[in-house]
Structure 1
């Protein structure tokens, strides 16, 4: 019996160190579900593309910048970065081995196969906050798409990334003049204030139009030179 396109079909479900993650197909869309909460799907990608493009534009012509993408998700950010020859190295930090596997060997390869084959691309399996606390690598841009943004985290522990210590760690791994770009499901004036308070400059918010409701946004901030 063939499943109806109106009924989501679970393609894979795994228990990981942070709970359950599942990959579903709903019609033509692939969806990632974390602990029963919808995270993202392959319906659009405008937000992810703006996240990457806004960071590159804020770098103001820096040659061959190294970008860290926080969260692999359905892969739109990685695919978009890899399609742009202006980026130098592209490092993606993803803590769920299941999501990495769905891209390397599963259905999400339809989004990222070319990007994963790009010699500029490196995938790191790690918790993002732990990674920026510990790595000795520096980056020209951090593009973070974790959960649903600073005010609405889905996975326990991710809220630490948006605290003053977490943002200080982000600043530590940025080169002088480097850009922090953070996707959010809604604007967060409080988060903007935190960015200013930890020493970032040129803090601003770009809205992403949506069909209805509160717009998605990208928060942008620059580490002082």
Structure 2
């Protein structure tokens, strides 16, 4: 299948490419490694839905004014799903690659192009660790981590620290009472389970069925909550 390069960018982390296949599907690759495409967005959407539904479904949490931070913009479908919740008042999106942010602002992904005009969104071109550190303590309600496909499928080796107790404690400190951290993983991650449990006192691991074209598979969501017993 022929592939057209829509945009290419280079940064200290390497080459980022946005391509279009013959069928119109857009595809994002980093240093030649497939990251995501517009044909299969179920996992990105499921991350947002499962996390926000869990937060709003807990006692005392179903309220307007929900403040969200997303680690990873990608092609924008996690953000798109989050913006579909009227309870959401603000979203900070952390994305390390300036080109990915610029392509979003240019509207190169038609399905989510209107989201660039949503005044609830703040784009932070920075490492996720820097974006989280910049937040005031106890100010976030939901923190979604989707910078990789989990600790077993790192886009960059440096991201390994994102799944350790040190960074997870920073995330905990930024969450308001009742706040929820959600980490997405393409496969079971026992070490992540233990790290979230150590930091939050408990962890919920949920297998999430996802349909990717004709493939039926399962992804995994790990959540920790402030005040959980």
Task: Count the aligned residue pairs.
Answer: 219
| TM-score (normalised: structure 1) | 0.90
Note if 1:92 corresponds to 2:93.
yes
Q: What's the CA shift for 1:81? A: 1.4
Aligned to 1:75: 76
Aligned to 2:147: 146
CA distance in 1, matches of 2:87, 2:40: 23
Consecutive unaligned residues in structure 1, runs of 5 or more: 1-5
Question: Matched residue of 1:111: which SS?
Answer: helix
Checking the alignment, whether the CA contact within 8 Å between 1:52 and 1:77 is kept in structure 2 is: yes
Consecutive unaligned residues in structure 2, runs of 5 or more: none
| TM-score (normalised: structure 2) | 0.88
Note if 1:215 corresponds to 2:210.
no
Among 193, 206, 227, the residue aligned to 1:224: 227
CA distance in 2, matches of 1:153, 1:11: 24
Among 6, 13, 16, the residue aligned to 1:18: 13
Decide which moves more: 143-152 or 130-139. Answer: 130-139
CA distance in 2, matches of 1:207, 1:56: 14
CA distance in 2, matches of 1:63, 1:92: 19
Aligned to 2:4: 9
Q: What pairs with 1:117-136 in structure 2 (closer than 5 Å)?
A: 117-136=117-136
> Can you list the C-alpha shifts for 1:1-30, whole angstroms capped at 9, x where unaligned?
xxxxx2122222111122111111112211
Aligned to 2:37: 41
Q: What pairs with 1:21-32 in structure 2 (closer than 5 Å)?
A: 21-26=16-21, 27-32=23-28
CA distance in 2, matches of 1:209, 1:112: 20
Note if 1:194 corresponds to 2:162.
no
